[in-house]
Amino acid sequence: MNLKLFTTHVGVYQIDDSESINREILCIDGLLDNKYNFRNYLDIWQLRDQVPALDKLYHAFLHNAASYANECYDLQYESSYFQMLEGWCSLSLPHNQIEKLHNHRLTDVAAVYYTQVTDQTGDIEFYDPRGGLGFVSLDSAKPYNIHRHTPKTGQMILFPGWLLHTVCPNDTNTARVAIATNIKLREEIRYKKYTRPDAVDQE
């Protein structure tokens, strides 16, 4: 008998009305000039009052964070149990180099929404955290410990913050535009040990 334990779940969701959301987001001043790059410390969520599409996306991230927890881990969470941290534009310019392998430490859920992508603007790759097993794939085109996903425009992906990932090079003449964010479970939920989250408001 084999027991398959602790698989890593990645949630993939298609956002309704993504076409109008994307159109509005792509018009944000400075977005395509890397103004809201993660390293510039400008939180894109500060524009929610000015850009209704960002507000819709903000709430979609929280909604799907709850769906992700419920579907993948059989929990009974609501979107109000989560809080959004910083948000930024993950911009990959034409013919850009690969993004370094990284994770989002101190974050419960890392999330990204694809505003403008094609099949060649750069896949996202997830690395199996069980790399210490030492096995190698006999098929050189398919390493056993890497899963590559080709995102679609209007798609949102959520995964554990500790999961190592990278983005493949953009080999096209089109910029890859994505909105990324970090999401955490609220402290009042996190420390309700041995208590169902829905019991928090009943005390």
Torsion angle (degrees, nearest 10) of CA 64, 69, 75, 77: -40
Q: Indicate the pairing of strand 176-185 with strand 165-167.
A: unpaired
pLDDT string in tens for the chain (203-residue length): 878 777 889 999 999 999 999 999 999 999 999 999 988 889 999 999 999 999 999 999 999 999 999 998 888 999 999 999 999 999 998 877 677 899 998 899 999 999 999 999 999 999 988 766 666 677 766 667 888 999 999 999 999 999 999 999 998 999 999 999 999 999 988 887 545 555 555 54
CATH of 11-185, one of 3.10.20.10, 2.60.120.620, 3.30.300.30, 3.40.50.150: 2.60.120.620
Q: Give me 181's structure tokens.
A: 């964010």
